[in-house]
Amino acid sequence: MEKKTESQETLNDEVKTPGKLSRMFITLYDVFQFIGRFFKEGFLPPYEVKELFRQCYEIGYRSALLISTTGFITGIVFTKQSRPSLSEFGATSWLPSLVGIALLRTLAPLLTGLIAAGKVGSSIGAELGSMRVTEQIDAMEVSATNPFKFLVSTRVLAATITIPILTFYTAMVGMCGALLNVSLSENTSAKAFFQSSLEQITFLDFTASTIKAILFGFTIGVVGCYQGYNSSKGTEGVGKAANSAVVIAMFLIFIEEVVSVQFFSLFRT
Amino acid sequence: MEQKKETDKQAEKVIEIKGLRKSFGNFHVLKGIDLDVYKRENLVVLGKSGTGKSVLIKIIVGLLTPDSGDVKVLGQHVDQITYKELLALRLKVGFSFQNSALYDSMTVRENLEFPLIRNQKNLTKGEVNLAVEEMLDAVGLLNTINQMPSELSGGQRKRIGIARTLILRPEIVLYDEPTAGLDPITCLDINNLINEVQTRFHTSSIVITHDLTCAKSVGNRVAMLLDGQFQRVGTFEEVFNTNDERVKPFYDYNFIQ
């Protein structure tokens, strides 16, 4: 027979008192079930298209200013810090390529992922957490609506779609910052700068970045939603959900970064 | 003749509960309760805080599952049906939450539209608008249609919560502490609204409360939940015409103090 409600699970979880290790495995099992439910329900009709677009707007548009500022400053600082080392070897002409590769391969996905984990992850965790403790999720359930589809599937999907877009936007803004720094120090035209930086970027770089960004977006969405959707213990639980959403998502993003760098380096040789 | 009468009574039951038990860890909340709710009656469940009143109605609507016992709602065993069947059953069972549980990111209009457009997909935009306005009019709050829940008073939130519950035209309405935290005048308004809902929409209801004014005003029958079991069930007078030391303080507190 199919599972009925989440609130019941939460209550049952509270009354059991397993050890730390058992608790970890129970949580892992819960998370995999949660992800499984997303794939099972997220792509089946009825589709919550309006809510999906609203979430894409919330995640994308509202994070754009913070990401632009961070990306731009990173571009300037990275270029400025890299110049002395390169100029020792008389290789300052490699600066655009270095910045381009660094931004696209690692800085843009990682920066975007971390900022989004902080801004988007905490907001999702807090919003769903507060909906859980104020019984709004239960209210959706008893009105014969699937709250998982409306609240979780749309947010996870929106984060998975929007973070890659933001990643390339961050890379572009970062390149603009780098261009500003290069233009102030050397007589390099924008055309020459972009030509030089883009010619070293391969299709693999582009693909790897996209896959990483999708993974980061999915992680932020799932962690935020899982923490918020399963929160309990009143307002304390809401704060805990928001905090855990950020900490766990950031931790997982770093792990995914390390693993993906190792994985994609296999293809570079 | 006697048998036919019994069959008719059986047919009128909308909720049948037998031997229901529910525990949270070592805390035994419901210890094998039996309860029947008949068509078009308002049954008030009274009891102290933490005696499992809300747990009872959450089990009825499938938000919690019982440890044992049988819960039959409109002829269906709630704990034995699939999720899809449960969703279909929930269309017929409305639930009004203690804190209203309005979706605070949506306006009043969107709160009412939410269950309607997801469960009655054949409705046109005009029909949805009409249904929303009609329901808000029924609870006397048509003027709040474009307001956010944060802009409403406690009493208004309760009314909107009830309107959202009623918009799917349920056969049964479960009210969880409808008058909790409200001033006496607003309590009277809510009590009148519950009675009006019963008359106008022909609903059967379970009203969870520890407010005896509410119980007396809306309840056709009253059930007193004490120590995990229904100790007394009957009319308001029948229940409180007793020297039971566990029941008397309720009456004394509400009507003497």
A26/A122 Cα distance (integer angstroms) = 23
Q: Residue A254 pLDDT more than 60?
A: yes
Higher-confidence residue: A46 or B163?
Answer: B163
- pLDDT for A3 equals 45
Please state whether beta strands B27-38 and B42-46 pair in parallel, antiparallel, or not at all (unpaired). unpaired
Mutate to test the interface with A, among B26, B60, B87, B120 (most CBs of A within 10 A): B87
- pLDDT for A1 equals 42
Q: Which one-letter amino acid corresponds to residue A19? A: G
Nearest Cα of chain A lies from the Cα of B189 at a distance, in angstroms, of 23
- pLDDT bin (cut points 50, 70, 90) of residue A257 is very high
Nearest Cα of chain B lies from the Cα of A127 at a distance, in angstroms, of 10
In this predicted model, what pLDDT tens digit does every residue of B92-149 receive, in sequence order?
999 999 999 999 999 999 999 999 999 988 899 999 999 999 999 989 999 999 999 9
B121 touches chain A (CB under 8 A): yes
Q: What are the backbone dihedrals phi and psi of residue A189, each rounded to the nearest 5 degrees, phi first?
A: -80, 160
Residues A247-252, mean pLDDT to the nearest whole number: 96
B158 touches chain A (CB under 8 A): no
In this predicted model, what pLDDT tens digit does every residue of A200-211 receive, in sequence order?
899 999 999 999
Among candidates A1, A15, A136 on the partner chain, residue whose Cβ is nearest the Cβ of B101: A136
Helices of type H across chain A: 6-15, 20-41, 49-88, 95-102, 108-116, 122-133, 136-142, 147, 154-185, 190-198, 203-229, 234-268
Interchain CB distance below 8 Å, B25 and A15:
yes
Q: Residue A33 pLDDT more than 50?
A: yes
- pLDDT for A2 equals 44
- pLDDT bin (cut points 50, 70, 90) of residue A221 is very high
Residues B33-52, mean pLDDT to the nearest whole number: 91
Among candidates A14, A134, A144 on the partner chain, residue whose Cβ is nearest the Cβ of B101: A134
Task: Specify the 3-state DSSP secondary structure of B13.
Answer: strand
Average model confidence (pLDDT) across chain B:
89
Nearest Cα of chain A lies from the Cα of B98 at a distance, in angstroms, of 9
**Can you tell me which residue has the tokens 């931004």?**
A103
Q: Are B243 and B236 in contact (CB under 8 A)?
A: no
Higher-confidence residue: B125 or B246?
Answer: B125
Q: Residue B155 pLDDT more than 50?
A: yes
Interchain CB distance below 8 Å, B65 and A8:
yes
Which residues from B are below 8 Å from A135, CB to CB?
97-99, 101
Length of chain B (residues): 257
Query: How many contacts does A have with B, using Cβ atoms within 8 A?
Result: 82
Percent of chain B predicted with pLDDT > 70: 94
What distances in angstroms separate CA B82 from CA A4, A146, A219, B61, B86, one per listed residue? 8, 14, 31, 13, 6
In this predicted model, what pLDDT tens digit does every residue of A110-127 receive, in sequence order?
999 999 999 999 999 999
Residues A250-263, mean pLDDT to the nearest whole number: 95
A132/A233 Cα distance (integer angstroms) = 10
Higher-confidence residue: B223 or A42?
Answer: B223
Q: Which residue of A has its CA nearest to B116?
A: A143
Helices of type H across A89-186: 95-102, 108-116, 122-133, 136-142, 147, 154-185
Residues B29-57, mean pLDDT to the nearest whole number: 91
Among candidates B62, B105, B168 on the partner chain, residue whose Cβ is nearest the Cβ of A143: B168
Q: Residue B1 pLDDT more than 70?
A: no
Closest CA to A63 of A176, A165, A154, A215: A165
Interchain CB distance below 8 Å, A135 and B91:
no
Q: Which of residues 164-223 of B touch A (CB under 8 A)?
A: 164-165, 168
Interchain CB distance below 8 Å, A4 and B62:
yes
Q: Which one-letter amino acid corresponds to residue A168? A: F
Which residues from A are below 8 Å from B102, CB to CB?
136, 139
Among candidates B97, B103, B119 on the partner chain, residue whose Cβ is nearest the Cβ of A144: B119
**Can you tell me which residue has the tokens 């303080």?**
B249
Tokens of B129: 């608008």
Which residues from A are below 8 Å from B80, CB to CB?
1
- pLDDT bin (cut points 50, 70, 90) of residue B246 is confident
Other C-beta atoms lying within 10 Å of the C-beta of residue A74: 21
Among candidates B63, B84, B93 on the partner chain, residue whose Cβ is nearest the Cβ of A8: B63
Interchain CB distance below 8 Å, B114 and A15:
no
- Those residues of chain A whose CB sits closer than 8 Å to some CB in chain B are 1-5, 7-8, 11, 14-16, 46, 127, 131, 134-136, 138-146
- pLDDT for B255 equals 64
Kindly tell me the sign of the dihedral angle through the C-alpha atoms of A178, A183, A188, A192.
positive
A131/B103 Cα distance (integer angstroms) = 8
A140/A148 Cα distance (integer angstroms) = 9
- pLDDT for A17 equals 62
Torsion of CA B90, A125, A222, A136, to 10 degrees: 10
**Out of A16-25, A93-102, A224-233, B27-36, which region has the weakest mean confidence (pLDDT)?**
A16-25
Interchain CB distance below 8 Å, A143 and B63:
no
Higher-confidence residue: B187 or B248?
Answer: B187
**Out of A70-74, A91-95, A172-176, which region has the weakest mean confidence (pLDDT)?**
A91-95
